Amino acid sequence: MPYFDNATTSFPKAPLLGPAMANYLTESGGSYGRGLGRRMLQANLMVEQCRNLLAAKFLTNKPQNIIFTGGATEAINLILNGLSFNKDDLILLSPLEHNAVLRPVQRLKELYGINYEVMPHFSDGLIDAEALSNLVKVKKIRLAIINMVSNVNGLMQPIKQLKEVLANIPLMLDSAQYLTNYNNLPIEADYVVFAGHKGLLGPQGIGGFYLKDETTVNPTKLGGYASGWNELAVSPIMPDRFEAGTLNMPAIAGLLMALRFNEPPFISLTTWRDFIKEVGKLGYHTYKANDDGGQGAVVSLSHQNFKTARLAQLLYDDYAIESRAGYHCALLAHQTLQTLGAVRFSYGPFTTNNDLEQLLKALTGVVTKL
């Protein structure tokens, strides 16, 4: 059964992830920063090893500034709700943002009277760097937020170029669809959120964020700390400051095992881009990057003769193809691309050439039955 829904969550997961989680639950079981003895020491070592591996991906020498959360959505909310805003502060959003960004920003507008604007862009959602440069010269920007890779059309934003344009404007990056076991961040940003269960091949329920300067965000989750901080005031110690409560240790055990997996993927990005070109010949409308060089591991499509849910159902019922239909929790992205919903396909490291052949055969078969 070809699986093309890796943008929702990766599958299969990294080899040995399940046994690593089971071993934690049945053999180790210690809680990070709590108690004494072998179990606690093993737990502490596991968490810090995971933090160190992520720090290398984030191009930082401050692993203590990598914070574990329940996922990227929680991480985004913790950052945005912890920043200080004044009435009429302006946030710039990239045009392909996920609802995990759009809804908290809308809430900030309702609560504090901030404003937000979508960055100037081309038809595929690529940010227009020249127009953005002109914009930041005439407006005072409190924060810029960029989705590195769209979860709708797979467009990869030119982060290095955009960082040069934004200069010293605080920048938050959503790396949920970008970060994999095979890459690192191209720059060090002020804030970076990540998901553990997508390209990193870890389990659901683990993600987090990196922040360059911890004093710029006020903690909004308070409670017990791993360091044993005994004052009622918020702990100044990192990562305590943002990790009140018990960490999801089984998920961290799985993520650590996943981060150690580095076998090459079965297909290349070039092969995927060639596949998208073939799909374009079948009469589907493909939502993708205008420039092939900016195309990531996600693509969506629609057909004038099918509602998207019906198309996805046909692919599953007749050809056992797993995809995702709808708006993909990304209203702004679909507005930018002017869709009425779409069927999304996303590959992962275990997707094979045979899987692509089966998908192309299925898409061909659906339209030839018209």
pLDDT band at 97 (very low <50, low <70, confident <90, very high): very high
pLDDT band at 36 (very low <50, low <70, confident <90, very high): confident
Q: Is the pLDDT of residue 66 over 90?
A: yes
Q: Is the pLDDT of residue 93 over 90?
A: yes
Tell if the pTM clears 0.85, that is, is over it: yes
Q: How far apart are CA 61 and CA 339, in angstroms?
A: 42
Residue given tokens 């998208």 in the structure block: 276
Q: Is the pLDDT of residue 132 over 80?
A: yes
pLDDT band at 125 (very low <50, low <70, confident <90, very high): very high
Tell me phi and psi for residue 154, to 5 degrees. Answer: 75, 10
- pLDDT (0 to 100) of residue 370: 64
- pLDDT (0 to 100) of residue 229: 76
The string of pLDDT tens digits covering residues 324-357 is 999 999 999 999 999 999 999 999 999 999 999 9
pLDDT band at 226 (very low <50, low <70, confident <90, very high): confident
Q: Percent of the chain scored above 70 by pLDDT?
A: 100
Tell me phi and psi for residue 353, to 5 degrees. Answer: -60, -35
pLDDT (average), residues 169-176: 98
Q: How many CB atoms lie within 10 A of CB 33?
A: 19
- In the chain the domains, ranked by start, together with CATH numbers, are 17-259 (3.40.640.10), 269-368 (3.90.1150.10)
Angle between helices 353-368 and 308-319 (to 10 degrees): 120
pLDDT (average), residues 71-87: 98
Please give the residue that has the higher pLDDT: either 8 or 35: 8
pLDDT (average), residues 87-116: 98
pLDDT (average), residues 270-278: 97
Q: Residues for the chain: how many in total?
A: 370
Q: Is the pLDDT of residue 288 over 70?
A: yes
CA distances from 226 to 60, 245, 250, 265, 340 (A): 22, 8, 17, 38, 48
Q: Is the pLDDT of residue 228 over 90?
A: no
Q: Is the pLDDT of residue 145 over 90?
A: yes
The pair of three-digit structure tokens given for residue 136, joined into one six-digit string: 């930041």
pLDDT (average), residues 83-112: 97
- pLDDT (0 to 100) of residue 227: 77
The pair of three-digit structure tokens given for residue 346, joined into one six-digit string: 């996303």
Please give the residue that has the higher pLDDT: either 226 or 97: 97
Contacts of 278 (CB under 8 A, 6+ apart): 360
Average pLDDT, the chain: 96
Q: How far apart are CA 202 and CA 68, in angstroms?
A: 13
pLDDT (average), residues 79-87: 97
Please give the residue that has the higher pLDDT: either 365 or 369: 365
pLDDT (average), residues 20-41: 90
Q: For 142-156, 194-208, 217-231, 240-254, which range has the lowest pLDDT when averaged over its residues?
A: 217-231
Q: Is the pLDDT of residue 369 over 80?
A: no
pLDDT (average), residues 290-305: 97
